[in-house]
Amino acid sequence: MKASKHSPRALLCSVLLSIPLFGQAETVNWANWLTGQISKHPEVLAATEQAAARKEDAEASEQPLYNPELSVGADRTGSENNFEAGLSQTIDWSDQQGALKEKAKLIRLSAQAGLSEAVLTQTSESLFALVEWRATTLFEEIAESQQQRLDALLDQVEQRQQAGDLGRADAELLFLNLSRQLSEVAQAKAAVDRAETQVRERLPDWRPQDGGIPEYIWSALESQIGEADLLAHPSIAAARAKWQVLKSEAEVARRKATASPTVGLSGGRDGGENVVGLTFSIPLNVRNNYSAEIRAANRRALEAEARFQALYRKQQYDLAGARASWKRYDKQLRRWKELSQGRVQRSADLLEKQWQVGDLSTSEYLQALGQRAESLKTGIELEKLAQLGLIELLSQSGELITPFQ
């Protein structure tokens, strides 16, 4: 589907398309793929149709309020045929159409903000799902690698036991660790299956071989962090637009309460003579002056304003919390990388050599292997939390996408 400037694809590319990057071509390609996938999601399609419908409502609000009325009549008096034709027009005395045109502009802004909000939600949830899937696949790799190492170790233990180098207790201890590892592998694979279904639900054409978020995307995301204009955040913009629409509706209600006169011109024949008539009518707002409707519209506008202010205030705190959380996780991740510096990857072979020469007992070796696996998992978990924190930060600031302007 070709993307128009009003489509979700035009709303999605934000940080991924709006800044210079080292791997810009790859970034643009991946961003285009992601935007294409998100634009196919039923929630985004529904939001697109809703926005289109609201824009049609806006166009309807801009149309003239009153159409001219044509009236014709005929009768017969004795031998005379009488007829009359008239044309009347109600005058928009209080300029309701002016207020409705202003309302139409605000409806369009509200529709666009609502679509941007849906796109932002789907973008962040899709990235969340990809991060979670990658972490679970790495956990699965660690669990399988640990199982393979324990399988190989079991063969060695049995050989050394037959040679009298190790006791039966070592084999039993290894068997218990291997049994527990089988359960961990099963749980890790189940977690991957669940994470995969979450990604497929959000990205229809995604396949596991497509992988997660490319590494070069993260530098692009980090470079977008700055002082955000929360008034441009889709959720805030949608709430503000709703308030403005209701405020304009209050003005429409006020002008509608002013009576609009109707002027008519008629002509015909009556009793064999030509007649011309001029009519003027105006409603008398005596029994109902529509003040209750005006007060209700004003109250709705005040409610929407209060909700907008509350949401804006909440968003400020949510953004501050997301920023602090991401900084905390990012700092700990950097610290973990400094501490590991490849040590964790090399430690498995070193531990095995120490066990082979007898510097480590079998129980100490198994404990060290478990600690090594936990350290690897810690690094993966910290990386996942830092990435999720970055996505949440950009989602809370509204910088994860750039709404159409």
**382 or 75: which leads in pLDDT:** 382
Say whether pLDDT at 402 is over 70: no
pLDDT digits (tens, 9 = 90+) for 81-97: 888 888 999 898 888 88
**Using CA atoms, how far apart are residues 291 and 91, in angstroms rounded to an integer?**
21
Average pLDDT in the chain: 84
Q: Is position 195 within any domain?
A: yes
Weakest-pLDDT range from 135-139, 169-173, 219-223, 371-375: 169-173
**Using CA atoms, how far apart are residues 270 and 134, in angstroms rounded to an integer?**
89
Q: Is position 57 within any domain?
A: yes
Q: Is position 96 within any domain?
A: yes
Q: Is position 360 within any domain?
A: yes
Q: Structurally, how many domains does the chain consist of?
A: 1
pLDDT digits (tens, 9 = 90+) for 254-285: 998 888 899 999 888 877 788 888 989 998 88
Q: Determine the average pLDDT of the residues in 50-78.
A: 89
**Using CA atoms, how far apart are residues 176 and 158, in angstroms rounded to an integer?**
14
- Give me the sign of the Cα torsion angle 158, 164, 168, 172: negative
Using DSSP, state whether 398 is helix, strand or coil.
Answer: coil
**Using CA atoms, how far apart are residues 368 and 383, in angstroms rounded to an integer?**
23
Q: Determine the average pLDDT of the residues in 4-32.
A: 51
Does the pTM surpass 0.85? The reply is no
- Residue 165 banded pLDDT, cuts 50, 70, 90: low
Q: Determine the average pLDDT of the residues in 101-111.
A: 92
Say whether pLDDT at 314 is over 70: yes
Q: Is position 317 within any domain?
A: yes
Taken as a whole, the chain contains a residue count of 405
Say whether pLDDT at 247 is over 90: yes
Say whether pLDDT at 52 is over 90: yes
Return the number of other C-beta atoms located less than 10 Å from residue 292's C-beta.
Answer: 10
Say whether pLDDT at 15 is over 60: no
What CATH code is carried by the domain that includes residue 131? 1.20.1600.10
- Would you call 392 exposed, middle or buried from its count of C-beta atoms within 10 A (0-12, 13-18, 19+)? buried
Q: In terms of residue numbers, what domain contains 132? A: 52-204+228-283+303-397
Q: Determine the average pLDDT of the residues in 50-71.
A: 91
- Residue 294 banded pLDDT, cuts 50, 70, 90: very high
Residues 6+ apart with CB under 8 A from 170: 157, 161, 361, 362, 363
Residues 6+ apart with CB under 8 A from 203: 34, 37, 38, 126, 129, 130
Say whether pLDDT at 249 is over 50: yes
Edge-to-edge strands, sheet with 262-270: 69-77, 80-90, 262-270, 273-281
Helix (H) or strand (E) holding 65: none
Q: Is position 151 within any domain?
A: yes
**339 or 27: which leads in pLDDT:** 339
Q: Determine the average pLDDT of the residues in 2-7.
A: 43
Q: Is position 32 within any domain?
A: no
Predicted local confidence at residue 159, as pLDDT: 72
Predicted local confidence at residue 392, as pLDDT: 94
Predicted local confidence at residue 19, as pLDDT: 35
Place of tokens 């189940």: 190
Helix (H) or strand (E) holding 80: strand 80-90
Place of tokens 């149309």: 63
pLDDT digits (tens, 9 = 90+) for 348-394: 777 777 777 777 777 887 888 888 888 889 999 999 999 999 999 99
Q: Is position 212 within any domain?
A: no
In the chain, what percentage of residues exceed pLDDT 70?
Answer: 88
- Would you call 335 exposed, middle or buried from its count of C-beta atoms within 10 A (0-12, 13-18, 19+)? exposed
